[in-house]
Amino acid sequence: MSGHSKWHNIQGRKNAQDAKRGKIFQKLSREIYMAAKSGGPDPSGNPALRLVIDKARSNNMPKDNIERAIKKAEGNSEEHYDEITYEGYAPGGVAVFVEALTDNKNRTASAVRVAFTRNGGTMGATGSVAYMFDRKGYIVIDRSTTDADEDQVLLDVMDAGGDDLQTSDEAYEIYTDPKQFAQVRDALIKTGYKLAAAELTMIPQNTTPVPEDKKEQFQHLVDALEDDDDVQNVYTAAADED
């Protein structure tokens, strides 16, 4: 079975993300607020809220922060955020898909455009790169945390309802239909696996190597987008680094 491997890149960026933990918590609070506002404050009856709470916990977000965002949604707050996506190309022709949650569309659009143009990228029209990505559930099992061999993991993944399994020396990477993500995640946990990552994400259908002379500029673009308070997620079709 095959799939786009991203675990190596996730690990490589972990330290940089740790340094931005305060900003990550701020973005997660916004997601929690919106999920609770639209679907209710009880995660047992609000799958979207449950997913973002799980995401917050995986990022070590304090329980008080999570509860504060939910209580804010229960109150009379008039805050409202629009979900917007932006598309374009990074240096080297690498497709980039950006998800934002904003209370000011003009501000966010301007900031995203500046990030692209100042770092050698180009903005594209809606739909220009979205078709190159698939929405997937993504789950990682660190191989050091399980005694199960590859055949057993594959069997358990299939029994849980997973679509695809990719293996490496470090991890088992599992891909699911987004609608089945929570079911597969919960089934694997119940089976006894410890999950290193579990999230809904965008997976590129094909990847593009970043030219050596464009790598620094490419990274500056990704960093500039991720640093924006309104940007929730940045997905690229860059080929994995060895």
pLDDT digits 0-9 by tens, 135-169: 999 999 999 999 999 999 999 999 999 999 999 88
Length of the chain: 242
Domain that holds residue 61: 7-74
Both tokens of 216, joined, read 């620094």
Burial 176-203 (b: 16+ CB within 10 A, else e): beeeebbebbebbeeeebebbbbbbbbb
Asked if the structure places residue 154 within a domain, the reply is no
Distance CA 238, CA 28 (A): 25
Distance CA 141, CA 154 (A): 12
Q: Has residue 127 got a pLDDT over 70?
A: yes
Mean pLDDT of 181-195: 94
pLDDT bucket at 2, cuts 50 / 70 / 90: very low
Asked if the structure places residue 197 within a domain, the reply is no
Q: Which residue has the higher pLDDT, 129 or 199?
A: 129
Asked if the structure places residue 179 within a domain, the reply is no
Mean pLDDT of 101-109: 96
Asked if the structure places residue 137 within a domain, the reply is no
Q: What is the pLDDT of residue 77?
A: 78
- Decide: pTM greater than 0.95: no
Asked if the structure places residue 38 within a domain, the reply is yes
7-27 pLDDT, tens digit each: 666 655 555 555 577 788 999
Please report, rounded to a whole number, the percentage of residues in the chain having pLDDT higher than 70. Answer: 91
Split into its structural domains, the chain has a count of 1
Of 14-18, 55-59, 186-190, least confident by mean pLDDT is: 14-18
Asked if the structure places residue 20 within a domain, the reply is yes
C-beta atoms surrounding 75 within 10 Å: 9
Q: What is the pLDDT of residue 3?
A: 46
pLDDT bucket at 114, cuts 50 / 70 / 90: very high
Asked if the structure places residue 12 within a domain, the reply is yes
CATH of the domain at 17: 1.10.10.200
Q: What is the pLDDT of residue 58?
A: 85
Helix (H) or strand (E) holding 173: strand 171-176
Of 13-17, 99-103, 124-128, 168-172, least confident by mean pLDDT is: 13-17
Asked if the structure places residue 56 within a domain, the reply is yes
Q: Which residue has the higher pLDDT, 12 or 104?
A: 104
